[in-house]
Chains A and B, each alone.
Chain A
Amino acid sequence: MNHIAPGARAGIYHYDEIDRRFVGERVEQFRRQVERRLSGELTEEEFKPIRLMNGLYLQLHAYMLRIAVPYGVMSAVQLRKLAEIGRTYDKGYGHFTTRQNLQYNWIKLEDTPAILNALADVDMHALQTSGNCVRNVTTDQFVGAAKDEVVDGRVYAEILRQWTSLHPEFTYLPRKFKIAISGAASDRAAVRVHDVGLLARRNEAGEAGFTFYVGGGLGRSPFIGKLVREWVAEEDFVAYLEAILRVYNQYGRRDNIYKARIKILVHELGLEKFKAEVEEEFARLRGPKYRLDPAIVAEIRTHFAPPPFEDLPETSSALERAKAENPAFANWVAVNVAEHKAPGYAIATISLKPPGGIPGDASCDQMDVIADLAEQYSFGELRVSHVQNIVLAHVKQDELYALWQKLDAVNLGTANAGLIGDIIACPGLDYCALANARAIPLAQAISARFADPLRQRTIGELGIKISGCINACGHHHVAAIGILGVDKKGTEFYQITVGGDPTLTTAIGDILGPAVTEHEAVDAIEAIVEVYLANRTGESERFLDTLARVGHGPFKERIYAAD
Chain B
Amino acid sequence: MPSPDGTLHAITANRLRDGVVVFLGAAGAWVESFADAALLTEAEATTALAAAKAQAERDQFGVDLYAFEVESENGAALPVKMRERIRTLGPSVRLDLGKQAAA
**CA of A108 to CA of B18 in the docked complex: distance in angstroms?**
4
Find out whether the CB atom of B82 lies under 8 angstroms from the CB atom of A40.
no
Q: Shortest CB–CB separation between residue B56 and chain A, in angstroms?
A: 8
Chain A, residue nearest B57 (CB): A43
Contact with A along B57-84 (1 / 0, CB 8 A): 1011001100000000000000011110
Set of chain B residues within 8 Å of A530, measured between Cβ atoms: none
Give which listed residue, B57, B80, B98, contacts A61 with CB less than 8 A.
Answer: B98
**CA of A107 to CA of B15 in the docked complex: distance in angstroms?**
12
Find out whether the CB atom of A110 lies under 8 angstroms from the CB atom of B17.
yes
- Known A430-B86, A435-B83: A40·B59 in contact at CB below 8 Å: yes
Set of chain A residues within 8 Å of B92, measured between Cβ atoms: 430, 438, 441
Q: A401 contacts the other chain (Cβ, under 8 Å)?
A: no
Set of chain B residues within 8 Å of A437, measured between Cβ atoms: 82
Chain B, residue nearest A109 (CB): B17
Give which listed residue, B17, B60, B93, B97, contacts A91 with CB less than 8 A.
Answer: B97
Q: Interface on chain B toward A: helix, strand, loop, or mixed SS?
A: loop
Q: Shortest CB–CB separation between residue A520 and chain B, in angstroms?
A: 17
Find out whether the CB atom of A61 lies under 8 angstroms from the CB atom of B21.
yes
Find out whether the CB atom of A108 lies under 8 angstroms from the CB atom of B93.
no
Q: A62 contacts the other chain (Cβ, under 8 Å)?
A: yes
**CA of A38 to CA of B17 in the docked complex: distance in angstroms?**
7
**CA of A38 to CA of B81 in the docked complex: distance in angstroms?**
31
Find out whether the CB atom of A60 lies under 8 angstroms from the CB atom of B86.
yes
Q: A492 contacts the other chain (Cβ, under 8 Å)?
A: yes
Query: In residues 12-48 of chain B, which contact A (Cβ within 8 Å)?
Result: 14, 16-21
Q: A387 contacts the other chain (Cβ, under 8 Å)?
A: no
**CA of A204 to CA of B93 in the docked complex: distance in angstroms?**
53
Chain A, residue nearest B58 (CB): A40
Chain A, residue nearest B17 (CB): A110
Q: Shortest CB–CB separation between residue B90 and chain A, in angstroms?
A: 6
Q: A545 contacts the other chain (Cβ, under 8 Å)?
A: no
Give which listed residue, A44, A63, A430, contacts B19 with CB less than 8 A.
Answer: A63
Interface residues on A, range: 20 to 34
Q: Which of A40, A430, A433, A441 neighbours the largest number of chain B CB atoms within 10 Å of its CB?
A: A430
Q: A429 contacts the other chain (Cβ, under 8 Å)?
A: yes
Find out whether the CB atom of B86 lies under 8 angstroms from the CB atom of A440.
no
Find out whether the CB atom of B81 lies under 8 angstroms from the CB atom of A440.
no
Q: Which of B19, B63, B94, B97 neighbours the largest number of chain A CB atoms within 10 Å of its CB?
A: B19
Q: A58 contacts the other chain (Cβ, under 8 Å)?
A: yes
Set of chain A residues within 8 Å of B86, measured between Cβ atoms: 60, 429-430, 438
Give which listed residue, B16, B20, B83, B87, contacts A38 with CB less than 8 A.
Answer: B16
Q: Shortest CB–CB separation between residue B17 and chain A, in angstroms?
A: 5
Set of chain A residues within 8 Å of B64, measured between Cβ atoms: 58, 433
Set of chain A residues within 8 Å of B63, measured between Cβ atoms: 44, 58
**CA of A444 to CA of B87 in the docked complex: distance in angstroms?**
21
Give which listed residue, B19, B57, B87, B97, contacts A108 with CB less than 8 A.
Answer: B19
**CA of A58 to CA of B66 in the docked complex: distance in angstroms?**
14
Set of chain A residues within 8 Å of B97, measured between Cβ atoms: 91, 106
Q: Shortest CB–CB separation between residue A440 and chain B, in angstroms?
A: 5
Find out whether the CB atom of B91 lies under 8 angstroms from the CB atom of A431.
yes
Find out whether the CB atom of B19 lies under 8 angstroms from the CB atom of A58.
yes
Set of chain A residues within 8 Å of B94, measured between Cβ atoms: 358, 430
Set of chain A residues within 8 Å of B14, measured between Cβ atoms: 58, 62
**CA of A492 to CA of B18 in the docked complex: distance in angstroms?**
29
**CA of A63 to CA of B82 in the docked complex: distance in angstroms?**
20
Q: Shortest CB–CB separation between residue A255 and chain B, in angstroms?
A: 25
**CA of A541 to CA of B60 in the docked complex: distance in angstroms?**
60
Chain A, residue nearest B101 (CB): A91
Set of chain B residues within 8 Å of A107, measured between Cβ atoms: 19
**CA of A435 to CA of B87 in the docked complex: distance in angstroms?**
12
Q: Shortest CB–CB separation between residue A429 and chain B, in angstroms?
A: 6
Q: A108-B18, A429-B83, A430-B92 are in contact. List 14 more A-B contacts (CB 8 A).
A: A38-B16, A40-B59, A44-B16, A44-B63, A58-B19, A58-B63, A60-B21, A61-B20, A61-B90, A106-B19, A109-B16, A110-B17, A429-B86, A431-B91
Closest 10 CB pairs of A and B: A62-B19, A108-B18, A430-B91, A63-B19, A40-B60, A440-B93, A490-B81, A110-B17, A44-B63, A430-B93
- Between A and B, 10 residue pairs with Cβ closer than 8 Å are A38-B16, A58-B14, A60-B86, A109-B16, A109-B17, A109-B18, A109-B19, A429-B82, A437-B82, A438-B82
